[in-house]
A and B are shown apart, each in its own frame.
Chain A
Amino acid sequence: MAQHDLRPDEPTLDAAGGIRARCGVGYPGFALDVDLQLPARGVTALFGHSGSGKTTCLRCIAGLERGARGRIEVNGELWQDSAAGIFVPTHKRALGYVFQEASLFPHLSVRRNLEYGMRRAGAGKVSWAQAVELLGIGHLLERMPDRLSGGERQRVGVVRALLTSPRLLLMDEPLAALDLRLKREILPYLERLHGELDIPVIYVSHSPNEVARLADHVVLLDQGRVVAQGPLTDTLARLDLPAVFSDDAGAVVEAVVAAHDGHYHLTRLDFTGGSVLVARRPEPLGHHLRFRVNARDVSLAKERLEGSTILNLLPVTVMEVGEADTPAHVLVRVDAQGTPLLARITRRSCEQLGIAAGRPMWAQIKSVALLG
């Protein structure tokens, strides 16, 4: 199985820090065997289908899987080394864990749930006021868990984990059990978490949108093995991955709000190598945001097409042509002067236009999806 290491110049992984987890565990009909090398900061998404081993992998890192073997080192702290007979039990690992269903203690109020871990971990760098405010749960403290909505419960679960001042925060699909409305309610909180606290997060998800919105770094898992790992934008724009994204292929671009056009109600977003115009955004100038360009929404032309209603045209260079989800289509990875994009076009067009690596083309972007 192909194992793709980080680029050597990846700046977030240096010798002193970072998370290195080699773990293996076997069950009847399923085996996990992974070697993860993750940056010491930011959000890493463990991404894959259900049954790909994401949760098992997270549980191995937490020490919750009896019988897992391997070596786990987090920012210089050794948590497990089976070869040397070292296994630090879960309660002695400085981690925070957010379970899929929050798992609050039903016999304790929200306040006592929060105090449970905080008292045992001792004072750390995350303060009560900060964590409670960050997730907006100040008004819930005296409630019992069964009087909370699903979204509130998850937010309390996040705060409870944060208050142990973990050196690593593990989140197991914290949004999976929530409906779309609650997901929208809680996502901004998770983004603030990312922005305001300097705690590395490993986030398990099977939702491409969540990953694109929250992660900086992504690990793709399939059948208990790592298929790819690397920075988000590079990894999502690769063609050689199994059809994890299948009909859903697309690239994620980091951009800055560069200008607002009051007359046409448009906003210009600048990114490495180009810019796009989108419907007017509320964010101020200089605000960083991400957008996702679905491969279906990108078409390619030999020349800059005049007289089209499509606003966003970018000069690109073809990098690679690969298989798409149907035999009628191909996926083309193009480079917009530093930013990778994917285009899903018909095989017929590809051959008639003679699209091949190295060709300069124009990409027409029909729409972009902003990720907050």
Chain B
Amino acid sequence: MSLSSSDLAAIWLTLELASLTTVLLLLIGTPIAWWLARTRSRLKGVVGAVVALPMVLPPTVIGFYLLVAMGPHGPVGRLTEALGLGVLPFTFAGLVVGSVFYSLPFVVQPLHNAFEAIGERPLEAAATLRAGPWDSFFSVVLPLARPGFVTASILGFAHTVGEFGVVLMLGGNIPGKTRTVSVQIFDHVEAMEYAQAHWLAGGMLLFSFVVLLALYSSRRMRPGLG
């Protein structure tokens, strides 16, 4: 067996983190993307820029601010302590929050594009057929935007699996709690365990390639969406 139990724990933790983050991102990202696609508000530019920030910021910067905000003296930390939740840094919950910020643009942007590609007309047609706004969102928008949701889920999941800087800043390196695959690889390399690192790194490479292959093959079949 080439993977140690701590390797397996890291893989499991990573999958758990990425799955939970993806679900949360779809729930949070859908209304944001819908608002961005439909609004005529002047805030659109500001919100769009804020959502895109994690794409350009170094993960250490995001991690640093989240650490400060969620720490015992930060505004989020005071709130969570007041609610009896304790402080989030160096916990799995803290990692989830960090990952949601970090991967947000990778979910919002495909959804935003998919919603914009649908255009006004199907919604107008639905309205003339007596469908109210919620009804037409579920009966027309969601089915038509499905390729966008597939892309958003894949990108959100894969990007969360691949994060390193935010995890290190925010999660520390606690086995079974915050030690993800990318951190585990770092540990192996630090300890000169190159063989172990190879197994995990090779696995990540294969995973990333398969994900992107799936994504690009499905995109070729559905031009213009996603």
Q: Which residues of A contact B (CB under 8 A)?
A: 62-64, 89-92, 95-97, 99, 103-107, 116-117, 120-121, 160-161, 164
Quick check: B125 and A91 within 8 Å, CB to CB?
Answer: no
Please give the distance in Å from A129's CB to the nearest CB on chain B.
20
Inter-chain CA distance A164–B128, complex, in Å, is 9
Q: Which residues of B contact A (CB under 8 A)?
A: 121-122, 124-132, 135-136, 139-140, 143-144
Inter-chain CA distance A164–B143, complex, in Å, is 22
Quick check: A117 and B124 within 8 Å, CB to CB?
Answer: no
Inter-chain CA distance A89–B130, complex, in Å, is 10
Given the known A-B contacts A91-B132, A99-B121, A120-B135, are A105 and B140 also in contact in the complex, defined by CB atoms under 8 Å?
Answer: yes
Quick check: A120 and B127 within 8 Å, CB to CB?
Answer: no
Known: A91-B127, A97-B125, A116-B126. 4 other contacts (CB 8 A): A92-B130, A99-B121, A99-B124, A104-B125
Within 8 Å by CB of A120, from B121, B124, B130, B144, lies: B130
Interface of A is mostly: mixed
Inter-chain CA distance A196–B122, complex, in Å, is 29
Residues of A within 8 A of B121 (CB): 99, 103
Given the known A-B contacts A103-B121, A107-B143, are A121 and B130 also in contact in the complex, defined by CB atoms under 8 Å?
Answer: yes
Quick check: B144 and A117 within 8 Å, CB to CB?
Answer: no
Inter-chain CA distance A217–B81, complex, in Å, is 72
Quick check: A120 and B131 within 8 Å, CB to CB?
Answer: yes
Quick check: A62 and B128 within 8 Å, CB to CB?
Answer: yes
Quick check: A116 and B128 within 8 Å, CB to CB?
Answer: no
What are 14 A-B pairs at a CB distance below 8 A? A90-B127, A91-B127, A95-B128, A103-B122, A103-B125, A105-B125, A107-B140, A116-B126, A116-B131, A117-B128, A120-B131, A120-B135, A160-B129, A161-B129
Please give the distance in Å from A60's CB to the nearest CB on chain B.
13
Quick check: B130 and A117 within 8 Å, CB to CB?
Answer: yes
Residues of A within 8 A of B132 (CB): 89, 91
Quick check: B124 and A64 within 8 Å, CB to CB?
Answer: yes
Inter-chain CA distance A121–B127, complex, in Å, is 11
Quick check: B131 and A91 within 8 Å, CB to CB?
Answer: yes
Inter-chain CA distance A62–B126, complex, in Å, is 12
Inter-chain CA distance A187–B132, complex, in Å, is 32
Inter-chain CA distance A139–B125, complex, in Å, is 23
Residues of B within 8 A of A120 (CB): 129-131, 135
Quick check: A116 and B127 within 8 Å, CB to CB?
Answer: no
Residues of B within 8 A of A89 (CB): 127, 132
Quick check: B140 and A96 within 8 Å, CB to CB?
Answer: no
